C-alpha cells in the first residue's frame, strides 16, 4: 500500500474573470514568491472567458514549472455544447500534461490517465472515490460541504488510502453552476451579449436578501458563498483525518501572505490565534466562515473552542 503524500498547499484555478495581464502577473508572483506545491490553471466557470488567458497560459505554465511547482490544468465545470466537449478533447490530447476533471464527462475522457478529480464532481463516499482512483485519479478534491466527521470516515477508509485527498480551506466556496449567467442578468444583459461584466467584480458580486443582508455571491454563471471559508484552526484535525492537500482559492487579496499563514499553521510555527488575526487583516471586511466542516450552515463561523 502506498503512503499518502506529505501535507501541502495547493492553489485552485482562478474562478473570476480577471484582466488577462492581471491574471498573468498574479501567477508570475505565485511562481516567484509563494510556498505552494501545486497550482491549478485554467478556465472553470465560463468557456467564453478562456480566450482571454490563452495568450499567457504557456508562459505562466513555464514560469511555474521553473519554480518547481506541480501544475495541473483545470477544465470546465459545466460542458454545454458539442463544441466545448471537442475543445476539451483537443486540450487534453497532450499526454505529458496533468489535468483536473471538473465534469464527469471529462473524467471519462481522462480514464486510464493520471489526473485529478476537481471539487465540482460529486465524490461523497469511498465507493465513488475508489472507482475514480481505479480509472486514473491520483487525487480527489472533495466537495466543500462535507463535515469533519464525513472527512474522517473517508480519510480512514482502507479503500481510499492510496489516493490523495484535498479539501478547500480558504476563499469563497463554489456552490453551484448554471447555464444562466447571473452577472449578465444583474446588468439587464443577455448571456450571449454579456459584455463580460463579470470582470467588474474581481472577487464576485455579493447579493443581498430583501432585508439587505449579504447572502451569496455571483460570478458569471456561478453561485458562491458570500463569506470566505477559512479552516486555519482546523488544519491539524484535517491532517489527522487523512487529508493531505489543502486548497486555497485565488482572490484579489495578498495570496502570497495567505499562503504563508496556512503554511506556518501546517508546520506548527505560528499560533492559530495569531494566524487568524493576520488573515482578518488581509481579507478586510469580508466575513470568514467554517460552518460546513462543523456540520452547520456553511456561512457560519464556529469557534474552535466550541468543538
* 129 falls within a domain: yes
Model pLDDT, residue 3: 58
The CATH number for 13's domain is 3.20.20.70
Q: How many domains does the chain have?
A: 1
Rounded to two decimals, the pTM is 0.94
Model pLDDT, residue 307: 42
The pLDDT of 246-257, averaged and rounded, is 98
* 8 A C-beta contact, residue 229 and residue 173: yes
The string of pLDDT tens digits covering residues 43-94 is 999 999 999 999 999 999 999 999 999 999 999 999 999 999 999 999 999 9
* 195 falls within a domain: no
Query: Could you tell me the three cell numbers for 155?
Result: 480519510
Model pLDDT, residue 30: 98
* 78 falls within a domain: yes
Q: Residue 208 forms beta bridges with which residues? A: 214
* 65 falls within a domain: yes
Phi, psi of 197 (to 5 degrees): -65, -15
The string of pLDDT tens digits covering residues 95-146 is 999 999 999 999 999 998 999 999 999 999 999 999 999 999 999 999 999 9
Q: What is the mean pLDDT of the chain?
A: 93
* 1 falls within a domain: no
Rounded (to 5) percent helix, strand, coil in the chain: 40, 20, 40
* 3 falls within a domain: no
Q: For residue 36, how many other CB atoms are within 10 A of its CB?
A: 24
* 141 falls within a domain: yes
3-state SS, 61-109, equals HHHHHHCCCEEEEECCCCCCCHHHHHHHHHHCCCCCCCEEECCHHHHHH
- Residues 6+ positions from 242 with CB-CB distance below 8 Å: 4, 151, 152, 154, 155, 156, 161, 165
Model pLDDT, residue 1: 44
Query: Domain range holding 233?
Result: 8-172+227-306
* 178 falls within a domain: no
Amino acid at each position: 500500500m502506498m503512503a499518502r503524500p506529505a501535507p501541502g498547499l495547493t492553489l485552485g484555478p482562478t474562478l473570476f474573470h480577471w484582466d488577462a495581464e492581471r491574471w498573468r502577473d498574479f501567477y508570475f508572483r505565485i511562481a516567484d514568491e509563494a510556498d505552494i506545491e501545486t497550482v491549478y490553471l485554467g478556465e472553470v466557470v465560463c468557456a467564453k472567458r478562456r480566450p482571454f488567458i490563452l495568450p499567457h497560459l504557456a508562459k505562466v505554465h513555464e514560469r511555474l514549472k521553473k519554480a518547481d511547482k506541480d501544475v495541473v490544468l483545470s477544465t470546465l465545470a459545466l460542458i454545454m455544447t458539442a463544441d466545448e466537449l471537442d475543445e476539451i478533447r483537443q486540450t487534453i490530447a497532450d499526454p505529458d500534461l496533468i489535468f483536473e476533471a471538473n465534469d464527469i464527462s471529462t473524467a471519462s475522457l481522462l480514464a486510464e490517465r493520471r489526473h485529478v478529480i476537481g471539487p465540482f464532481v460529486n465524490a461523497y463516499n469511498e465507493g465513488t472515490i475508489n472507482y475514480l482512483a481505479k480509472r486514473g485519479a491520483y487525487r480527489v478534491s472533495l466537495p466543500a460541504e462535507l463535515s469533519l466527521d464525513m472527512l474522517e470516515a473517508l480519510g480512514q477508509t482502507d479503500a481510499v488510502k492510496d489516493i490523495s485527498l484535498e479539501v478547500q480551506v480558504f476563499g469563497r466556496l463554489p456552490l453551484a453552476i448554471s447555464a444562466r449567467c447571473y452577472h449578465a442578468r444583474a446588468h439587464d444583459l443577455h448571456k450571449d451579449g454579456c459584455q463580460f461584466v463579470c470582470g467588474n467584480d474581481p472577487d464576485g458580486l455579493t447579493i443581498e436578501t430583501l432585508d439587505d443582508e449579504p447572502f451569496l455571491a455571483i460570478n458569471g454563471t456561478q453561485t458562491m458563498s458570500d463569506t470566505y471559508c477559512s479552516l486555519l484552526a482546523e488544519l491539524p484535525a484535517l491532517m489527522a483525518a487523512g487529508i493531505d492537500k489543502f486548497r486555497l482559492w485565488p482572490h484579489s487579496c495578498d495570496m502570497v501572505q495567505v499562503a504563508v499563514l496556512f503554511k506556518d499553521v501546517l508546520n506548527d510555527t505560528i499560533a492559530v490565534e495569531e494566524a487568524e488575526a493576520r488573515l482578518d487583516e488581509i481579507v478586510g471586511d469580508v466575513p470568514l466562515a467554517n460552518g460546513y466542516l462543523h456540520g452547520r450552515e456553511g456561512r457560519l463561523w464556529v469557534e474552535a473552542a466550541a468543538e
